Structure 1
Amino acid sequence: MIESDELLSIRAAELYYEEDKTQDEIGSILALTRWKVGRLLAQAKASGFVRIEIVHPRARRLPVERRLREAWGLTDAIVVSTSGVDDQDELQTRTAQAAADYLTALRPTPRTLGISWGRTLDDVARHLQDGWAAGVDVVQINGGVSLNRRAGTAASTAVTIAQKAGGHATLLPSPAILERLETKQAIESDRAVSAVLDLASGADAYLFSAGAADAGSVLVDSGYLTAHDVTELVRRGAVGDVVGRYVDSAGAIVDAGLDGRTVGLPLESLRGAQLSIAVIAGAAKHAVARAVVGSGLCTVLVTDEETALSLLDHPSSNQHHDGQRGTP
């Protein structure tokens, strides 16, 4: 009898999902009541015989999001589907769009949004629609005056996000990394720069990404570090950078000297924030994603399905579950 019901549920599912028959039509074909057909279709789904997948590029993986929130103590998680993704560019586009959608739906809307810079944030800025919010001011949280051809990227990202929200952008007029500690200290003590950092430290929300520890880093591309520098950082345990600061798998600073010459908010500002949104996607960033989430650097993660599953399959012993957000 059980086997008969199973076969009937499969046949009913085939007629309903593949031949577009109504439940009444299926009842006539199989000599069953409409109620029995409905029960068989529900049984087919519950038994795993039917899998419904939404394949639109903006589709989200809600069950994975729930597991991610519960496993890592996140306030929220946004996970985009990787179905039909052919390359890293498409994956980046989907994740950036999801981050833009999340910002647009965010309530209450932050009055001041602190942002980092880089390729991911630039993509998020481009995907935001004009009028995504009303009167949101944007402030840079780390230095971004480039040393070469990528000049202007950090400033244009902040200005674009602010303009599309009818707000103002406050830029941090400094390189990301200085050659000498004394120079960095002098810059941060400058009245104009310190005023920006003070504004950034009081932002209502933060939006940032993370870079993989490899030669493709935007910090290498922008001329701050060399490929050899990054190789040495990896040798010392670096898994990636967060707002220009290289961290290990536990989210700890790898090179105190380099960190001391880096201009911008310290990582503790992200850990103490009520709302800090990390946008991280791609296989190359699985390790740094674990470091960010596991060390409490974000309250919200926007990521792709494979990165999310990696986080669920390889939990960290440094998970941040103390609930003490908002206490610097």
Structure 2
Amino acid sequence: MTETKPAEAKQVAPGRMRRDALTPPAEFAGDAIVWAAWLYYEEGLTQEEIARTLGISRGSVVTMLQEARENGTVSISVATAHLRGVTLARAIMARFGIAECLVVPGDDGRLPDHERVGHAAAKLLSERLRPDDVLGVSWGRTVLAVSQAIPPKLLPGVSVVQITGSAIGTYRFSAEACASNIANRIGGRCIYLHAPGIVSSPEVKQMLMREPTLVEQFRIMSSCNRIIFGVGSVEASSTAFDTGFLSPEEGQPYRDRGAVAVLAGRFIDTAGCVVSGELDDRLIGMTIPDIAQIPERICVAAGHDKAAPIHALLTGGYVTVLVTDEATARQLLDLPERSGA
């Protein structure tokens, strides 16, 4: 669909769609015409059924399907890449039971994986944010790309919360930078976590966690209704270790116990279970059980080493919305199914 842009779809829809019409699911990139075409040509729904699904009149459905034919949306020669992404997204949603999945088509290496996925996730996040949201933000390459690509808009009632403590080695895409970028671009309030990500001993952590400032920051953190995060592998080349946030020596005991994924400094195995260890008593930030309680959990990740970590998070039920790319989606679906905890 190289010639079809979301803006073009909006030229058709505003005059015809009711004010209560539904927003297209993420996998259709916000394009109601593509959504209608998919339901009609791929899922075999009738025009009346599509009208009820989209919250519009049957006449509007007829117009949209006509537009889809005229602009090439349903032409295999130009629509293959988009429909392929939709097929993968729907397969992932069905297999893992998540609410939404957005699969970004490949671009033959013109942009790095994390930038393509970050840009797509930025659009998705911008469309979902509401004035009174409390948004938790992790850190990493892809989350930084999201924070830099969010379209400027005014949402002064939104609180953006840093969910992990600080680390000197993560300056390129630190938790502070990811959170502050998002807050600045939407005009929201940024809540920094004024503590190191890892302290020297459990006693130091216990002492810091009694500080009134941290008590208040964790209180706000507990009210998050959305969160956006990346996920890392346990390899030495992954972001968590490459940046110095974690050392290979600190990660080795977790690898020995089967960990395959790192989320906000915490470790998870292939069955989606949290892998505990000595480091947990020195980490300051949101825990995996804390994350699991947040209603909307958006995972943004792509790359040759991310399929197994994403699979672990999906298996554990820690993701409600996934944004990834086509190659990673295929790898993810090729991995064997595992039962959760």
Q: Distance in 1 between matches of 2:262 and 2:144?
A: 17
Q: For structure 1, list consecutive stretches of 5 or more residues without a partner in the other structure.
A: 1-41, 43-48, 321-328
Matching residue's letter, 1:81: P
CA distance 1:277–1:132, change in 2 (3 Å) = farther
Conserved in 2, the CA contact under 8 Å of 1:114 and 1:206? Answer: yes
The TM-score with structure 1 as length reference comes to 0.74
Which range moved further: 240-249 or 101-110?
A: 101-110
**1:27-58: per-residue Cα shift (whole Å, max 9, x none)?**
xxxxxxxxxxxxxxx9xxxxxx95544669xx
Conserved in 2, the CA contact under 8 Å of 1:133 and 1:164? Answer: no
- Alignment-derived partner of residue 293 in structure 2: 272
Alignment of 1:41-190 (within 5 A): 52-53=78-79, 61-85=85-109, 90-106=112-128, 108=130, 111-131=133-153, 133=155, 135-143=157-165, 145-148=166-169, 150=171, 153-190=174-211
CA distance 1:50–1:165, change in 2 (3 Å) = closer
Q: Distance in 1 between matches of 2:154 and 2:326?
A: 25
Conserved in 2, the CA contact under 8 Å of 1:60 and 1:80? Answer: no
Pair 1:237-2:261 in alignment: no
Q: Distance in 2 between matches of 1:222 and 1:188?
A: 25
- TM-aligned CA deviation for residue 120 of structure 1: 1.7
CA distance 1:316–1:149, change in 2 (3 Å) = closer
- TM-aligned CA deviation for residue 251 of structure 1: 2.3
- TM-aligned CA deviation for residue 181 of structure 1: 0.9
**1:254-310: per-residue Cα shift (whole Å, max 9, x none)?**
233212221112211222221011111111011110111110111111111122222
Specify the SS of the correspondent of 2:227: strand
CA distance 1:51–1:110, change in 2 (3 Å) = farther
The two structures, once aligned, show a CA RMSD in angstroms of: 2.6
Decide which of 237, 246, 258 is 1:225's aligned counterpart: 246
- Alignment-derived partner of residue 5 in structure 2: none
Larger Rg: 1
Q: Distance in 1 between matches of 2:156 and 2:221?
A: 19
Q: Distance in 2 between matches of 1:251 and 1:207?
A: 18
Q: For structure 2, list consecutive stretches of 5 or more residues without a partner in the other structure.
A: 1-68, 70-74
- Alignment-derived partner of residue 307 in structure 1: 328
- TM-aligned CA deviation for residue 318 of structure 1: 2.7
**1:114-167: per-residue Cα shift (whole Å, max 9, x none)?**
111122211111111221755422011121x22347278221221110111111
The sequence identity of aligned pairs, in percent, is 30
Matching residue's letter, 2:183: A
Decide which of 290, 302, 310 is 1:289's aligned counterpart: 310
Q: Distance in 1 between matches of 2:321 and 2:174?
A: 24
Q: Distance in 2 between matches of 1:190 and 1:295?
A: 32
**1:54-100: per-residue Cα shift (whole Å, max 9, x none)?**
669xx9811211121111110111111124126xx621111001110
CA distance 1:73–1:152, change in 2 (3 Å) = closer
Q: Distance in 2 between matches of 1:152 and 1:75?
A: 28
Pair 1:255-2:276 in alignment: yes
CA distance 1:92–1:60, change in 2 (3 Å) = farther
CA distance 1:259–1:193, change in 2 (3 Å) = same
Q: Distance in 1 between matches of 2:212 and 2:180?
A: 22
The size of the alignment, in residue pairs, is: 268
CA distance 1:311–1:191, change in 2 (3 Å) = same
Alignment of 1:208-223 (within 5 A): 208-223=229-244
**1:167-189: per-residue Cα shift (whole Å, max 9, x none)?**
11000011212221111122122
Matching residue's letter, 1:259: D
Conserved in 2, the CA contact under 8 Å of 1:181 and 1:260? Answer: yes
Specify the SS of the correspondent of 1:177: coil
Matching residue's letter, 1:218: T
Which range moved further: 282-291 or 214-223?
A: 214-223
- Alignment-derived partner of residue 224 in structure 2: 203
